[in-house]
Amino acid sequence: MALPGMSLSLTDICGAHVARRGYLRHPAPHGRSASRCACLGGFDPAELFALGRDIGALPLFAAPTIVKRLVDHAEATGETPETCATAFKTIVYGGAPMYAADIQRAMRGMGPRFAQIYGQGESPMVGTVLSRSHLMDSQHPQYAARIASVGVAQTPVQIRVTDAEGRDMALGEVGEVLIRGDSVMAGYWRNPDATAAALREGWLWTAIWAHSTPTVFSP
């Protein structure tokens, strides 16, 4: 199980999830924003640094491999955390495992502008979060365990770690991650069998394996 204050550590980011491919049915929220969206033809670290300095420090979502390339560029061109602040406001990473050594290197080179989110298409971007404040708090006695985890449950969802029968696992034991909340999909498009397998009694069975720990995010 995972409750507020408990961390979640992924054992296998891929799991068996690939077997459930298909279109998803989500409610379609619409909103208005005064933000600007820049469309680029590919990934070029130098172009992103220049773009941020041209239109204003960028908020950015990036896979860990992209973060690494940004850090490589920053180091190669003599950027500092202070100069990186003129190009990037916040860099949210996810979509794949981030090595603890890599995020520590990123913060040394580019400053305290990183946060991690974990989720999947069936509950897009909403699962757990490892906040900027958690990543910055290097003096915390559980810091090493914190940055090796995917953080704590985000506010809109509940998360559990269970066995194949839906029974909560003891703390530290590996089980499947279950998510419940308004962000969870309505189902797979025209695939009732896959929907029935993934959505059971209001919980999304993610086919991702993890374990939870009770004290990592205690004050």
pLDDT digits (tens, 9 = 90+) for 92-101: 999 999 999 9
Cα–Cα distance measured from residue 104 to residue 130, given in angstroms and rounded to the nearest whole number: 14
DSSP state, 37?
-
Whether residue 41 has pLDDT greater than 90: no
The answer to whether the beta carbons of residues 215 and 50 sit under 8 Å apart is no
3-state secondary structure of 167: coil
145: Cα separation from own chain's centroid: 16
Question: pLDDT value at position 6?
Answer: 53
Whether residue 110 has pLDDT greater than 50: yes
pTM: 0.82
Whether residue 139 has pLDDT greater than 70: yes
Give alpha helix (H) positions in the chain.
45-55, 64-76, 81-84, 100-110, 132-136, 143-147, 192-198
Cα–Cα distance measured from residue 136 to residue 113, given in angstroms and rounded to the nearest whole number: 9
- Quote the percentage of the chain above a pLDDT of 70: 82
Whether residue 36 has pLDDT greater than 60: yes
Question: pLDDT value at position 1?
Answer: 47
Q: Which two tokens stand for residue 102?
A: 């890599």
Question: pLDDT value at position 189?
Answer: 96
Identify the band that residue 125 occupies on the pLDDT scale cut at 50, 70 and 90: confident
Cα–Cα distance measured from residue 6 to residue 108, given in angstroms and rounded to the nearest whole number: 27
Between 192 and 216, the more confident residue is 192
The answer to whether the beta carbons of residues 8 and 212 sit under 8 Å apart is yes
Identify the band that residue 26 occupies on the pLDDT scale cut at 50, 70 and 90: low
